[in-house]
Amino acid sequence: MFGTYVQPRELLVYPFFEYYRDANAEYSPNELGYGLDQDYRGRYWANERLVFIGYGISSRLAVELEAANITAVQEKAPDDPSAMPDSVRESGLGDVEGEVRWRWTTETDRRPELFSYFETAFPLQRTRHLIGTQDWELKLGTGVLRGLSWGTMMLRVAAEYNAEDGTVALGEYAAEYLRRLSSKLRLVVAVEGDQDEVEQITEAQWFLRPNIYVKLNNSFGLTSKATDWAPEVGVMFSFR
């Protein structure tokens, strides 16, 4: 969750909404149940209603859980000769993911913070094609964080295991910048990628109260396989 930090014995609850639009999403009719094992590009859109929960167990250990309800539509490409209909639509339970994060070192004047994390996506939609997770997906990553006079920088990278095809590959990687502009407003700018899908993210965080703030997020695809546009809006609640 970009630009979000949890303290020991702090509970974060973040209900939010996200929309996706992609004019040339890559798909294979075979993966959607229509036989032809070849990649095509067609229009895709989806909307998600999600909830994120994070908890700081101690100054070193934090856990989080995220779950979604999604409606997604993949449209058929004009040059796709398969038996796939003009559009495939699915709705229901989306990705359900959990993460454990461990801080190895705290930041000092001489060194940055170093942390690692383990994340899993649970295979709760084995019979679906567009939504949810069909098989176990595991990620193991590490990152560094450093507070500077002009903002806070974080870099992270992860390896990902996909049980469906038994492969291990480079997973998510990101560079994130966080800047507090005032007591009411924070700004986040990030670049995040997953193999050849790279996105630019911007986010404004507007504090209604010290423990309640609105997150306005926009993601724009920087590579052809990334989602063209994915806006997000939600309200973060902190309980201590």
- For residue 165, pLDDT beyond 90: no
Q: What would the two tokens of residue 47 be? A: 């909307």
For residue 35, the one-letter residue type is G
Spatial distance between the Cα atoms of 38 and 119, rounded to a whole number of angstroms: 30
pLDDT in tens, 110-130: 999 999 999 999 999 999 999
Strands 167-180 and 185-194: antiparallel
- For residue 223, pLDDT beyond 90: yes
Candidates 169, 100, 114; CA nearest to 142 is 114
Q: What is the mean pLDDT of the chain?
A: 96
Mean pLDDT calculated for residue range 13-38: 96
Candidates 22, 17, 119; CA nearest to 69 is 17
Mean pLDDT calculated for residue range 133-154: 96
| pLDDT bucket at 164, cuts 50 / 70 / 90 | confident
**pLDDT for residue 76:** 97
Spatial distance between the Cα atoms of 118 and 202, rounded to a whole number of angstroms: 25
Mean pLDDT calculated for residue range 59-74: 98
**219 contacts 227 by C-beta, under 8 angstroms:** yes
**pLDDT for residue 188:** 98
Spatial distance between the Cα atoms of 119 and 77, rounded to a whole number of angstroms: 34
Paired with 239 in beta bridges are 11
As a whole-number percent, the residues of the chain with pLDDT over 90 amount to 96
Model confidence, pTM: 0.94
- For residue 206, pLDDT beyond 90: yes
- The three-class DSSP label of residue 30 is helix
As a whole-number percent, the residues of the chain with pLDDT over 70 amount to 100
Mean pLDDT calculated for residue range 172-201: 97
> What structural domains and CATH numbers belong to the chain?
11-239 (2.40.128.130)
More confident residue, 145 or 165: 145
